Chain A
Amino acid sequence: MGNTNFHHALKIREDLCIGCSHCMNVCPTEAIRVKNGKSVLFGDRCVDCGECFRVCPVSAIIIDHDDFNNIFDYKYRVALVPAVFTGQFPVDISLRQIFSVLIDIGFTHVYEVENGVEILLEAINETSTPQPEKKPLISSFCPAIVRLIQVKFPALVDNILLLKPPLDISALHIRKEMEEKGIPAEETGIFYVTPCAAKIAAIKDPVGEAASAITGVINMDILFNRVYRQVKQKNNHTCALPSGSKLSNVAMCWSLTNGEAPHVKGRSLAIDEIKNVIEFLERLENDEFSDIDFLELRACDESCAGGVLTISNRFLAAERLRNHVENFQPNPELQYPDSLRSIYQNSEYLQENISIEKVYPRSILKLDDNMAEAMKKMERVNRIMQLLPMVDCGICGAPSCQALAQDIVQGLGNIKHCIFIQKILEQKGELNLEDSVKIMQDIWGYGKTNKYRDLKGI
């Protein structure tokens, strides 16, 4: 498990972590262990899905992002805003109000991520029907899913659609527009307002791309607070109002569940929430389904409306976006001087640059690179599993008996970490009580291990 050189937006703050193991128990890739009373992350296994972030009771899991004031390092500061951001606000706060506050607090431009949707949709539907073994195509929209496939479903990496998601297409458009205006690249900072950790990881360490066109990332919850306060504190008639959304119905709802699937030709399916996705991919790998052409897979329930950095209830946020469609009125005239031109102005350029490179597997499941070694290790894992109680209690600091067995074989765990085995060893006099308590302490820390004794004063 040595390879940790992948960028992760999720970090565990050791000073805050209480080692409660909630995160360990929900991690879909078994990437977390508890040691010395703290959660520890295996970087090569983490896909930045954020399930751990959701359950942490003390907010010890943080999502690395750029400081808001970083935007002022740039002369031109573009807020690249996804539709779900506006979905966070109560319906009586209009989109134009939200955008004008963004200008007020320091951005020079506001651009909606989903402007890139139509360009992408065109490219998807022009993609030639893949060879049967590459069917179904899997959308590259959700970066947590792309990483999940890399680590857990290596046989499916070739099914990933090698097209940039709308976010990258829009960023490219912005870059091109600024360039056309004669603005040097280093003067433009593009800041994406993210609903999740996976998008950050994808920007800082893109899969299938050398570097991202996006400069930085601002967490949605933080920006929401800033904007909402401003909206509440004053009415914004002083600043230039950028035009409201010109997004189409389809584009507005793209990041929601079933945002992509119905618009792609052929038989397509939308699945949200990482556990559902895993269940489906397990069976897809067995070739149990034929005739599916396209899969929209999203790590979060209700897709991006359920992102870990969202504030509003995910169902309400989705409703707002869907309803917006009803009062959608195209408003082509430019409302403020710096507005960017329509993305169609650059459609040829964008289509030429829409591809991403092949995605490579980076399996976390293999016990060893060498098959003969791996077989030996598997035999050891199986032998150890026979000795373990198979209750997956997690007291050993690993999420399951199987995970402990694998850790032992990889030199990362010890069979004495199992509480059931400790008891028997104590009974047989093979482990003294002092050492037994020490083992617990090494896993759960001093406090939790000695709480009863210290509080009772015994």
Chain B
Amino acid sequence: MHFEFNIEGGNFSKAGTASSQLKKILKQLNVDPKVIKRVVVALYEAEVNVVAHAYTGQIFIDIDTNKIEIKLVDEGPGIPNIELAMQQGYSTASPAVREMGFGAGMGLPNIKNNTDELHVASEVGKGTTVKMAIFLIS
């Protein structure tokens, strides 16, 4: 099954819309609650990253009985050093974003911990693509 969502950069009140929708879908599909939690947490962090760091983005979700694949494609500043960005505690978040409770530098590491596959690709000045997968049968 395929689903798509849009993300609006800068709009924190809408961040989490896609992860909430996906959660509803996975509950209806009788996916193990523990797996749902991992998926939702990972997607939520990735959504917030687009809202916080990029201008606009799109989410593509594919679900089959073996795995859940999620791709987020954004237009934004891109990530100059992905290895660094993946490190816990690394953040370039502005003071304004930090005031909203984001910017601890935990997002990408959290995505990594909750997914079975994670691939981040980025072009500075253009945008970032985050691909993740969670397997349903271990």
Contact = CB atoms under 8 A, between A and B. Distances in A.
Interface stretch (B19-27, B50-58, B89-97, B121-129): B19-27
Contacts of A363: 27, 30
B28 A366 contact: yes
Nearest to B136: A371
B29 A366 contact: yes
Contacts of A413: none
B115 to A, nearest CB: 14
A363 B30 CA distance: 8
Contact of B44 (A133, A154, A288, A361): A288
A370 interface: yes
Interface of B: 1, 16, 19-20, 23-25, 27-31, 33-34, 36-37, 40-41, 44, 63-65, 136
A283 B30 contact: no
Interface of A: 133, 154-155, 157, 282-283, 285-288, 361, 363, 365-372, 374-375, 378-379
A356 to B, nearest CB: 20
A378 B30 contact: no
A135 to B, nearest CB: 13
Contacts of A371: 29-31, 65, 136
A286 B36 CA distance: 9
B138 to A, nearest CB: 15
B28 A286 contact: no
Given A286-B16, A286-B44, A367 B25 contact: no
A274 to B, nearest CB: 18
Contacts of B65: 371-372, 375
Nearest to A365: B27
A150 to B, nearest CB: 11
Contacts of A366: 27-30
B25 to A, nearest CB: 7
Contacts of A154: 27, 33
A367 B1 CA distance: 15
A157 B37 CA distance: 12
Contacts of A378: 1, 25, 28-29
A275 B30 CA distance: 24
Contacts of B27: 154, 363, 365-366
Q: Chain A contact residues: over half helix, strand or loop, or mixed? A: helix
Question: Nearest 10 CB-CB pairs, A to B?
Answer: A155-B33, A366-B30, A365-B27, A374-B29, A154-B33, A287-B41, A367-B28, A371-B65, A155-B37, A372-B65
A286 B19 contact: yes
A361 B16 contact: no
Nearest to A283: B16
Nearest to A361: B33
Contact of A375 (B1, B23, B40, B44): B1
A293 B7 CA distance: 31
B114 to A, nearest CB: 9
A285 B63 CA distance: 20
A282 B17 CA distance: 11
A44 to B, nearest CB: 14
B25 A368 contact: no
A374 B63 CA distance: 12
Contacts of B19: 286
Contacts of B25: 378
Most buried by B among A133, A283, A374: A374
A327 B63 CA distance: 62
Contacts of A286: 16, 19-20, 23, 40-41, 44
Given A361-B33, A367-B29, A375-B63, 20 more contacts: A154-B27, A283-B16, A285-B23, A285-B40, A286-B40, A286-B44, A287-B37, A287-B41, A365-B28, A366-B30, A367-B30, A368-B30, A370-B30, A371-B65, A371-B136, A374-B28, A374-B30, A375-B29, A375-B64, A378-B28
Contacts of B33: 154-155, 157, 361
Contacts of A365: 24, 27-28
B9 to A, nearest CB: 19
B11 to A, nearest CB: 15
28 contacts: A133-B37, A154-B33, A155-B36, A157-B33, A282-B20, A283-B16, A285-B23, A286-B19, A286-B20, A286-B23, A286-B41, A287-B41, A288-B16, A361-B33, A363-B27, A363-B30, A365-B24, A366-B28, A366-B29, A369-B30, A371-B30, A371-B136, A372-B65, A374-B29, A374-B30, A375-B29, A375-B65, A378-B29
A366 B29 CA distance: 6
Nearest to B16: A286
B17 to A, nearest CB: 10
Contacts of A374: 28-30
